[in-house]
């Protein structure tokens, strides 16, 4: 799951929404810092404080990833997309087509949810504009082994960039994918990869209820 899928059910809880983004924010801002379930648990106080809400959101992210990545549908869809990328890119796995199948499945789920819930992506960003980045960073530093100073500058950049709506366009999504590949030191995708994104959208549309089953993902 990606940013919007993690957050969509909780848009009335600003610091919880921020918490759902924390594991992914850290992967960009400070890859040496990780939030772990056993370190989060003591901070699940349920008192509505920023500390408790950020912890609960990060916990939710970890729980979501646990069931989501273990579903048969995620395996089937991500494998199908990996094969489609390999057909375009050739047998050379320098682009790590399994990685692409995984990440594109998640990004296109966000795109599908944005389309199905008009106005909610604007609310998502409005909610995040109301949080205090220092409060989020303090909450994170209370539950990690190595503190970070990099969330405070990252959070406003993330909000200003507003890249999640770009997932609705094949061309803009390809651009965002290439930014991710650059960050993990992989070569960029060629323009021909847009065809994979275009063909993948109906698959995500048709299988969304299996990818996000109601017993785990109830709106």
What residue spans define the domains of the chain? Answer: 3-211
Write the pLDDT tens digit of every residue in 165-186: 999 999 999 999 999 999 988 8
Contact 154, 29 (CB under 8 A): yes
pLDDT of residue 143: 96
Q: What value does the mean pLDDT take over residues 38-48?
A: 96
Average confidence score pLDDT of the chain: 96
Residue 94 pLDDT greater than 80, yes or no: no
> How much is the pLDDT for 219?
87
Q: Are 143 and 55 in contact (CB under 8 A)?
A: yes
Query: What pLDDT does residue 91 have?
Result: 79
Residue 86: is its pLDDT beyond 80? yes
Position 137 pLDDT exceeds 70: yes
Mean pLDDT of 100-111: 97
Predicted confidence (pLDDT) at residue 208 exceeds the cutoff of 80: yes
Length of the chain: 219
Average of per-residue pLDDT across 137-157: 97
Q: Output b/e per residue, 73-112; b: 16+ Cβ within 10 A.
A: bbeebbebbbebbbeebeeeeebbbbbbbbbbbbbbbbbb
Residue 137: CB atoms within 10 Å: 23
H or E element that contains 14: helix 14-29
């Amino acid at each position: 799951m990606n940013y919007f899928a993690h957050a969509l059910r909780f848009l009335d809880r600003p610091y919880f929404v921020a918490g759902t983004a924390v594991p992914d924010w850290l992967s960009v801002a400070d890859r040496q810092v990780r939030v772990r379930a056993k370190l989060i648990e003591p901070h699940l106080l349920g008192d509505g404080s920023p500390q408790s809400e950020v912890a609960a959101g990060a916990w939710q992210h970890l729980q979501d990833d646990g069931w989501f990545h273990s579903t048969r549908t995620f395996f089937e869809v991500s494998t199908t997309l990996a094969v489609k990328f390999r057909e375009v890119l050739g047998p050379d796995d320098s682009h790590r087509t399994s990685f692409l199948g995984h990440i594109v499945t998640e990004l296109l789920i966000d795109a599908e949810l944005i389309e199905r819930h008009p106005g909610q992506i604007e609310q998502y960003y409005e909610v995040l504009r109301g949080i205090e980045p220092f409060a989020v960073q303090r909450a994170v530093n209370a539950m990690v082994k190595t503190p970070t100073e990099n969330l405070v500058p990252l959070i406003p950049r993330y909000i200003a960039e507003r890249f999640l709506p770009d997932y609705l366009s094949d061309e803009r999504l390809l651009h965002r994918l290439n930014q991710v590949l650059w960050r993990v030191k992989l070569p960029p995708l060629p323009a021909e990869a847009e065809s994979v994104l275009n063909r993948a959208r109906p698959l995500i549309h048709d299988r969304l209820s299996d990818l996000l089953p109601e017993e785990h993902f109830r709106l």
